[in-house]
Structures are given as C-alpha cells and as structure tokens.
Amino acid sequence: MSFPKQAELHRLYTTAKALVCALVKAHGEGRLQERLPFLAKPKLLIVDELGYLPFDAAYLFFQLVARATSEVPC
C-alpha cells in the first residue's frame, strides 16, 4: 500500500468547538450547503475535543460527516 506524501495530503485540523461554530455561523447566514463541501473536501479531517461537543450542535457535525463519507469511493 502506498501512502501520499505529507505535502500531497489535503488535511484539516480543528477543534470540535471551532468546527461547530463555523457550521452554526454558516447555518445562520443561510450558507451551510455552500460551506459543507469545503469542510468535507480534505482527505483527512482531524477534529479534536469531540467529547466536549454540545449535543444540540451535533446535527451540524453529523451533516458534515455524512457529506464527507458520501463522497468516498468504495
């Protein structure tokens, strides 16, 4: 198996709080469907502090995960 070099791997590191804040802001501005593809684009999405995510914001995080995994070829 061959792994991409670090420079070739499109990745995003963020905290759960920062990610959810960005999703809530985009949702409030009516731009959620525009923002989701950008956040789902990285081959590697690292979300730190996920255990601290408020339950009421989890549906936005789920939308991102659903979008990202629906674009992954089997």
What pLDDT, on the 0 to 100 scale, is given for residue 58? 76
pTM, two decimal places? 0.68
Residues in the chain predicted with pLDDT less than 50, given as ranges, are 1
What is the greatest pairwise CA distance in the chain? Answer: 43
Coil, strand, or helix at residue 41? coil
Bridge partner residues of 15 (DSSP): 48
Smallest Cα–Cα separation from 41: which of 3, 73, 11? 11
What pLDDT, on the 0 to 100 scale, is given for residue 11? 86
